[in-house]
Amino acid sequence: MVQVDAIKAFDDNYIWVIKDPTHSTCWVVDPGDEKPVLDYLSQHNLTLEGILVTHHHWDHTDGIAPLLSCFPDLTVYGPKNGKYQGITQPLVEHDSIVLAGITLNVIATPGHTLDHICYVNNEIAFTGDTLFNAGCGRLFEGTPEHMWHSFSKLLTLPDTCQVYCTHEYTLANLTFAQAVEPNNHAIAHYHQQAQALRKANRRTVPTTIGQQKAINPFARAAQPDILSHTPKQFIQAKDTPEARFAALRKWKDNF
Ligand SMILES: [Zn+2]
């Protein structure tokens, strides 16, 4: 079983470390800052083999060039045709990669950015800024339709699949989730758990696909009554999962 560890970066980013238990090597996902990665490697006596990139934003990529100057042979996986120029192994949907003894499949998940990809298998998913615990990334480049379609792909993963997203936005997301569904006991219950975790300075990530189906309003846009507490000005004429997702995203942007 692969081991995944977290390196904290900036205010609320996690740089995920995929450790090969049989070797003293590891991979990192979205290193926006090289310093905490280099500290982690020396503390744990690990060699960096490569990097996985989900999308081009600076807080996911700025550490790559400095890491390459320390480890010139690094493999840098990332989206083909993205805006970040430092990818050595460009990937598209349906590609798969093998690292640290596991296979990860690439799915295209446009929405937050157009180049966004996720790395998934039935046990783990690295979802970058697409699927957050109880939320979703802002739509900087894509449309609500893009993001709903991307979410739908992630929601086909097994309920037990562990979801590793990049940001610790969970408490703010849960405040919004409770506004969307004030009578959803799963959200209220999990909000209390997450508050206790954060108070103890512990992570709320990873989560699971099953949990997201229960508490994440954006993952629940297929529920016909999901907008029953949404202010009218955000609701669209159509009543489809995409339109409900769009309404929720617009409300969250103004929440
Ligand atoms: Zn981003």
pLDDT band at 81 (very low <50, low <70, confident <90, very high): confident
pLDDT at 146: 98
User: What percentage of the chain carries pLDDT values higher than 70?
Assistant: 100
pLDDT of 60 higher than 90: yes
- Is 239 within any annotated ligand binding site? no
The reported pLDDT for the residue numbered 136 is 97
Domains identified in the chain and CATH numbers: 3-164 (3.60.15.10), 170-253 (no CATH)
In angstroms, what is the span from residue 64 Cα to ligand 1's centroid? 15
CA of 23 to the centre of ligand 1 (A): 31
The answer to whether 39 is a known ligand-binding residue is no
pLDDT higher than 80, residue 174: yes
55 is an annotated ligand-binding site residue: yes
Residue type, 178: Q
Q: What pLDDT sits at residue 123? A: 97
Give the tens place of pLDDT for each residue, 140-154: 999 999 999 999 999
Distance 84 CA to ligand 1 centre (A): 12
- pLDDT(164) > 80: yes
Question: Residue for token digits 């046990």?
Answer: 123
Burial 65-103 (b: 16+ CB within 10 A, else e): eebbeeeeebebbbbeebebeebeeebeeebebebbeee
pLDDT digits (tens, 9 = 90+) for 3-26: 999 999 999 999 999 998 888 999
Report CA(253)–ligand 1 centroid distance (Å).
15
pLDDT at 22: 87
**Ligand 1 center from residue 29 Cα (angstroms):** 13
CA of 162 to the centre of ligand 1 (A): 20
pLDDT reading at 28 higher than 80: yes
Contacts of 85 (CB under 8 A, 6+ apart): none
State the average pLDDT for the chain: 97
- Measured in Å, residue 119 CA sits from the centre of ligand 1 at 15
Confidence (pLDDT) at 24: 92
Check whether 2 has a pLDDT greater than 90: no
CA of 166 to the centre of ligand 1 (A): 9
Say which amino acid occupies 75: T
185 Cα to the center of ligand 1, angstroms = 31
Percentage above 90 pLDDT, the chain: 97
Q: Distance from the CA of 244 to the center of ligand 1, in angstroms?
A: 23
Instruction: Find out whether 56 is annotated in a ligand binding site.
Output: no
Q: Residue range 148-173: average pLDDT?
A: 98
Using the mean position of ligand 1's atoms as its centre, give its distance from the Cα of residue 175 in Å.
21
57 annotated to a ligand binding site: yes
Instruction: Compute the distance from residue 183 Cα to the ligand 1 centre, in Å.
Output: 31
Q: Does 59 appear as a known binding residue?
A: yes
What are the residues whose beta carbons fall under 8 Å from the beta carbon of 69, sequence distance 6 or more?
Answer: none
Residues with Cβ within 8 Å of residue 198, at least 6 apart in sequence:
168, 170, 171, 204
User: Mean pLDDT over residues 44-62, rounded?
Assistant: 97
pLDDT tens per residue across span 190-242: 999 999 999 999 999 999 999 999 999 999 999 999 999 999 999 999 999 99
Predicted local distance difference test score (pLDDT) of residue 23 = 86
**What's the confidence (pLDDT) of residue 183?**
98
